[in-house]
């Protein structure tokens, strides 16, 4: 899958420009970047939440209109009916996603996802009574049961403790590899980078327009920036922008 954003503007402000990213099938990609780098806009463009000038290619040859009907989108805040229990939520989602499935089959299918995402103990609890981590697991199960080839997760580990956040990211990456799905995770957290095959780093240029400063294998990112760890990479990326801004100011003066 390839996303090309020629430009994305909010009013006169260009948020993203000439962004071209490939998301290889069956791989897990992490999108990171400093605030204002355009991560959220990139995610919105990917799942069809905002218009942009560009295209999204599937299999490298055909332009397709992707939206959330064919991309599994897992939002930062779980968008589930708080009145429903976990099993009800997954069961009805299954029935609506696969109308030809019988009620018994749908229940079995929903229960499989409950087990898979370790929600068995809370399956009869209402969504509103679950902890933050359990709600996120329920939201992932809710999205995943549609069995779509592309999964986009927006800051799925935010607001969780590092152990829980890591386990959720690890599980998602494992599923992507095992089931040959394309996973795109947008995150601020740099601790779980080792689980991803590829990494995309976004940074704002001197005008505040987000651009891709790196897109490639995770293993090669340190070598590319000649850095010791990913945090140093982020410092380099941020300082480049800072230096550029300072240069501009000095020139003006």
Partner 1 sequence: MNKISICINRYFTTNLWTFMKKLFLHGLVLTFVLYAVQEDAFESFGATKTMLFALCITLVVIGFFNAATEFHSQREYLVFDLRTVLPLSVWVISTLIIQSLLVFCQASITVVILIKIFSIKNYFQYFITVFLILFSSDMLGFLCGFLITSSLNTTMSLMAGAIIIQVVLSGVLFTPTGLFEKITKAIVSYHGMCAIGSVADLNSYLPAGYPLEMMYYPDLDYIITAWASLLVLAALECALGVAILYFNLSCTEKYSLTKE
Q: Applying CB under 8 A, which residues contact partner 1?
A: 4, 6, 48-56, 63, 65, 67-69, 73, 75, 79-81, 83-84, 88, 92-93, 95-97, 99, 146
What's the min distance (Å) between Cβ of 76 and partner 1? 12
Two tokens at 78?
């779980």
Nearer to partner 1, 69 or 249 (CB): 69
Nearer to partner 1, 93 or 182 (CB): 93
The rounded distance, in Å, linking the Cα atoms of 230 and 12 is: 33
What's the min distance (Å) between Cβ of 154 and partner 1? 13
What's the min distance (Å) between Cβ of 6 and partner 1? 6
DSSP-derived letter for residue 71 is S
| Chain centroid, CA 78 distance in Å | 14
Q: Which ranges of 18-102 does DSSP label H, i.e. alpha helix?
A: 39-47, 86-97
Phi-psi sector, 103: left (phi>0), alpha (psi -120 to 50), beta: alpha
What's the min distance (Å) between Cβ of 203 and partner 1? 24
User: 10: buried, middle or exposed (CB in 10 Å: 19+, 13-18, 0-12)?
Assistant: exposed
For residue 214, what are the contacts with CB-CB under 8 A and spacing of at least 6?
A: 199, 200, 201, 221, 224, 225, 233
The rounded distance, in Å, linking the Cα atoms of 75 and 66 is: 17
What's the min distance (Å) between Cβ of 56 and partner 1? 7
């Amino acid at each position: 899958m390839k996303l090309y954003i020629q430009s994305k503007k909010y009013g006169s402000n260009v948020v993203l420009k000439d962004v071209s990213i490939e998301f290889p099938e069956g791989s897990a990609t992490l999108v990171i970047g400093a605030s204002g780098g355009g991560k959220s806009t990139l995610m919105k463009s990917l799942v069809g939440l905002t218009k942009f000038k560009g295209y999204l290619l599937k299999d490298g040859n055909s332009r397709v209109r992707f939206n959330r009907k064919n991309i599994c989108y897992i939002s930062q805040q779980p968008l589930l009916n708080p009145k429903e229990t976990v099993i009800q939520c997954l069961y009805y989602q299954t029935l609506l996603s696969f109308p030809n499935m019988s009620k018994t089959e749908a229940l079995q299918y929903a229960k499989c996802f409950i087990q898979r995402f370790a929600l068995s103990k809370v399956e009869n609890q209402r969504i509103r009574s679950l902890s933050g981590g359990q709600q996120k697991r329920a939201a992932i199960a809710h999205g995943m049961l549609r069995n779509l080839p592309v999964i986009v997760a927006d800051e799925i580990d935010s607001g969780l403790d590092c152990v829980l956040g890591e386990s959720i990211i690890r599980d998602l990456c494992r599923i992507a590899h095992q089931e040959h799905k394309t996973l795109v995770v947008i995150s601020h957290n740099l601790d779980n980078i080792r689980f991803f095959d590829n990494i995309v780093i976004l940074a704002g240029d001197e005008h505040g327009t987000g651009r891709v400063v790196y897109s490639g294998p995770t293993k090669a990112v340190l070598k590319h920036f000649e850095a010791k760890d990913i945090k140093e990479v982020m410092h380099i990326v941020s300082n480049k922008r800072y230096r550029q801004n300072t240069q501009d100011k000095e020139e003006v003066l």
